[in-house]
Amino acid sequence: MEPWKIKRELRRLRQQLQAIPELFYEPLLCRWHDARREHRLQVTSGGAPAQNKVAIYLVYQPSGLSLSTLLTCDHLKAQGYAPMVVSNSPVDQASRTRLLPRVWRLLERPNFGYDFGGYRDGLWLLQRWAVRPRCLILMNDSIWFPARKNDQTIASMESMAADFCGVLKLGDDHAVTTRRRRPAFLGSFFLMFKEKALQSDAFVNFWEQYRCTSNKYKTIRRGERGISAAMIAAGMSWGSVFDKAAFQAQVRSMGKDALHQLLTEIVITNPDLDSSRRQLLQTEFIAMENLSAATRSRIIEIVLEATGRNNIFSSAPINLLRDHKLPFIKKATDVPNHLALKRLVRTLDERPSDLSMPSVVEQELRALVARHG
């Protein structure tokens, strides 16, 4: 096993061990927070008008808000949303001055419960203010969004015949819950709920019963996977801008040149699989007019195995942004995603028109890659 995978598993084990005592004190912390919530939440009105569409945008940037955060707020506002920024850290005065004209509300809160803790407090405030949006976005700053100029993702999601939707579907549509395969769910870094979903008992009950945790893995299980499971179990229709099946279908239908390009571009962390990729790229098939059926099958097998081992964005970032118009870039610095970010920088150097990236996003992407080597 690669060293980075060992470290990841050790972190996961540590979180799982921490979950044992948390069973006893977490409910007390949650009740303590709720009892004092009115005094622990600091709300400031911004210059953006109220709308019948609200975006709760969770950020955690204790060193000051990034320029891409302002870009996101401007984009949400331009799409007809009232941005409600929920910050899990205090916002400094310089950031506050830049931010407030762009948002409807700014909520500053303690860093308790990760993104779902912030979503929950934001929804609690909407209820107290008797604000009932016809459309609600929940998103966080673990992504750059929009990652492409003139992005139309929000309009596309609004037009979907779905009660709730996301930008990315994860998991397996046909899986049962096992250690290796999990039922499909939507990435909680960007979710949209329409009026039927917002008014449903499933949505209301989920947030009323949700138990905040500052354990990352429990937040993923209870929050990210839990919200999708609750809405699907209640019969809500759902959809996503992108899922792995769309990528797999594209790969299987690709011609020789497109397959060659994808094989060159994908990020492979497994040494044996990368060795197979390199051997194929060095063979004469690249210069041939047609591929043999066996060679074509092997290329597709390598691509699908590579994208199946890690998050699909970490494996095929160029293809997803260029061909599938994926609207976001993950900021994570784990080994697979960091390699993906480095691949994006290389493409920006060689073929910037392939990505059509906002300058602010490009600058922050380059800076993140430079910091982490």
The model's pLDDT over 41-54, given as tens digits with 9 standing for 90+, comes to 999 999 999 999 99
Count structural domains, the chain.
2
**In-domain check, residue 180:** yes
Mark whether 221 and 136 lie in a shared domain.
yes
In the chain, the N- to C-terminal Cα span, in Å, equals 22
Mark whether 56 and 77 lie in a shared domain.
yes
Mark whether 265 and 317 lie in a shared domain.
yes
Instruction: With CA atoms as reference, report the closest residue to 266 among 209, 216, 318.
Output: 318
Give the domain range for residue 354. 254-372
Per-residue pLDDT of 230-284, as tens digits, reads 999 999 999 999 988 889 999 999 988 888 899 999 999 989 999 999 988 887 5
Mark whether 203 and 122 lie in a shared domain.
yes
CB burial of 317-351 (b: ≥16 within 10 Å; e: otherwise) equals bbbbbbbebbbbbbbbebbbbbbbbbbbeebbeee
Crossing angle of helices 359-372 and 67-78, rounded to 10°:
150
pLDDT score at 179: 47
**In-domain check, residue 6:** no
**In-domain check, residue 76:** yes
Instruction: With CA atoms as reference, report the closest residue to 217 among 7, 368, 17.
Output: 17
Structure tokens, 366: 């380059």
Mark whether 307 and 350 lie in a shared domain.
yes
- CATH classification of the domain holding 30: 3.90.550
Give the Cα separation of 113 and 52 in Å (integer): 27
Mark whether 260 and 232 lie in a shared domain.
no
Per-residue pLDDT of 319-368, as tens digits, reads 999 999 999 999 999 999 999 999 999 999 999 999 999 999 999 999 99
Domain end call among 181, 210, 241: 241
Mark whether 211 and 320 lie in a shared domain.
no
Give the Cα separation of 147 and 130 in Å (integer): 33
Q: In sequence order, what are the beta bridge partners of 87?
A: 59, 108
pLDDT score at 178: 43
Structure tokens, 245: 């099946």
Distances (CA, A) of 361 to 3, 55, 239, 241: 30, 20, 27, 21
Mark whether 308 and 352 lie in a shared domain.
yes
Mark whether 19 and 164 lie in a shared domain.
yes
pTM of the model: 0.90
Mark whether 130 and 259 lie in a shared domain.
no
Mark whether 237 and 321 lie in a shared domain.
no
**In-domain check, residue 247:** no
3-state SS record for 42-88: EEEECCCCCCCEEEEEEECCCCCCCHHHHHHHHHHHHCCCEEEEEEC
Structure tokens, 315: 């494996």
Crossing angle of helices 335-350 and 359-372, rounded to 10°:
130
Q: What is the mean pLDDT of the segment spanning 188-209?
A: 97
pLDDT score at 309: 80
Per-residue pLDDT of 59-71, as tens digits, reads 999 999 999 999 9
